[in-house]
Chains A and B, each alone.
Chain A
Amino acid sequence: MIQEAQFRWPIPWSNLEENVLESSQTLAIQTENLRKEYGSKVAVRNLSLSVPRGSIFGFLGPNGAGKSSSIKMLLGLITPTSGEALLLGKPAGDVQTRRKIGFLPEHFRFYDWLTPSELLRLHGRLCGMSAARLKERVPQMIELVGLAPHRDKRIHDFSKGMMQRIGLAQAIIHEPEIVFLDEPTSGLDPMGRRLVRDVIRAQRGRGATVFLNSHLLSEVEITCDNVAFLKDGEVVASKELRSIGEDEEVHVSARARKLSHEVIAGLRRWTTLATVEGEYLTLSARSSDVLPEVVRYLVASGADIYSFTPRKASLEDVFMSIMGEDRGL
């Protein structure tokens, strides 16, 4: 679970200041009933989030769930219709707090006649970095995102993947405390994705919080510490990645001989499904806790077991079960 125990809404009014102060030391982002309406359309219904400092937080949801609107509210780009959001203990959009925030938009675009160095110097200056610091930091960033061979090119010659890389560099050049990454691996090849993954982990390594919005669930699964699932503008579930699948059914593929119909029928005590095709047994157990008992039962029943491979539910399985059917958005 996301560390809800550290901060619970609603806060008793008399303790609000104290709680905010305390939580601002442990939480990077807090929102309470954040809502955004565009006319009669509700983009974000009731967003309540708590993102621990120093974590990588995955923000997941289908198209149209309200992810972009939520990120824009957190960054102060759009004004919430109601609700509250705090970043590092300060209201979202606070100009001074933005010094500690980095952002890679989903479709990073900028004046395409600049070179990568010029672009980074410009963004660094806007973040209040000194000329001396920029002189040191800009070549480091270009090297980090793998654009050193292209340092003298104009950005209009850049591919989509190269734009993502330079966009990532501008988001972290000033070593922010929170980095918002909106679809950072979009348009990247496998090497680029690996680089982004490494950069994200490096940010966590130096103590920063990463707020990651991505459709690539496999990337999220190996990168994030916590995830929240957004559906129709509301967080419908939040989980710690380590716990993903623990509460779900466990699917097992096994190869065994001497499996009688009676033995298979006896598996119903622990399983919801058990089928045999030749030597191949497929079963779904209610929990991984029962697997040792299942193995003991099969062996005691005289079956010869050659393999027994449990497979935990993936993030994608969990995502699909939470989001339901594809609505073609």
Chain B
Amino acid sequence: MTGCWTIAGITFREAARKKILWTALIAGLGFLALFGAALHFQIEDFRTHAIAPFIRYQILSAMLMVGLYVVDLLAVVMTILTSVDTISGEISSGTIHAIATKPIPRWQIFAGKWIGFAGMIGAFVLLTFGGTIAVAYGIAGVRPEHAIVGGVLVFLECLLTLAVTFLFGTWFSTLTSGVIVIGLCGIAFMGGWLEQMSGFTESARLVMVGVVTSLIMPSEAIWRRAAFEMQTPLAGSLPFSPFANVSIPSPTMIGYAGFYLVVALIIALSHFQIRDL
């Protein structure tokens, strides 16, 4: 396993050096500043309006959920953009030739890259997700319910996206696999919101569309479960909220997402084992 950890270490350093990561981190910091300012202004406004503290708390909690959703989107996009060329790009440039001819099995190269990116993405999620919660608590005194469960689910969503990116990266060029993964995430995003809207329109067909898209790509379903876990029951029941508990993905769907992740990794690894480099 020495080879695997050596590859993981170099992949982590390679990923951590990518401009896209630092751009995403700067964007994250910019977002935190904006988010903090918005919370601050909202609290200032509360002083001029007679709003019950209970309602104030719900509004600030809703703002926190929006903030966490932005972090979730940023983490998923960053996962795709940083990892999309790690396999296909190294194959097309020939960088992989100097590694794959070393006395380490190919699965260790694959696993090392996976672990390196997972570590980097974990650090990114910790910083941005944790930062958002810290800013919200520091300025507005609000914090999510079950923050750790929510954070783990957001990380799971990133790992799922990473697995799918690796899967297509072992088959197609960087550009093609990037387009496919972003397309899949787009489908999941659309399906998730259609399912959410079904709560207002009471359309069983919209629910069906949402479930089918979640089966095709369950990333958005993981976020909606995370949103459910992080909101108070009352906030989740407010009909005007975009994160209202209208159609909550079940634990079975989260299990399916985990299964999807593992299968994607197994297919990707099997193909990487035998493909020409």
Contacts and interface: CB of A to CB of B under 8 A. Distances in A.
A186 to B, nearest CB: 13
A79 interface: yes
Contact of A126 (B93, B95, B97, B104): B104
A101 interface: yes
Contact of B99 (A95, A99, A101, A126): A126
A202 B84 CA distance: 42
B255 interface: no
B3 interface: yes
A110 B274 contact: no
B101 A109 contact: no
B contact patch SS: helix
Given A72-B277, A78-B277, A125-B2, A109 B104 contact: no
B18 to A, nearest CB: 10
Range of interface residues on chain B? 20 to 34
A106 B97 CA distance: 10
Nearest to A111: B14
A126 B6 contact: yes
Interface in B231-277: 274, 276-277
A267 interface: no
A127 B103 contact: yes
Contact of B103 (A72, A106, A122, A126): A126
Given A95-B104, A128-B103, A110 B98 contact: yes
Interface residues of A, number: 29
B3 A126 contact: yes
A170 B98 CA distance: 9
Contacts of B40: none
A182 B103 CA distance: 19
B98 A167 contact: yes
B94 interface: yes
A82 to B, nearest CB: 15
Contact of B93 (A101, A106, A109, A123): A109
Contacts of A77: 97, 100-101, 276-277
A106 B93 CA distance: 11
Interface string A97-109: 1110101011111
B205 interface: no
A46 B103 CA distance: 28
Contact of A122 (B10, B97, B101): B10
Nearest to A121: B6
B102 interface: yes
B17 interface: yes
B105 interface: yes
Given A95-B103, A99-B103, A79 B97 contact: no
A36 to B, nearest CB: 9
Interface of A: 72, 75-79, 95-99, 101, 103, 105-111, 113, 122-123, 125-128, 167, 170
Interface of B: 2-3, 6-7, 10, 13-14, 17, 93-95, 97-105, 274, 276-277
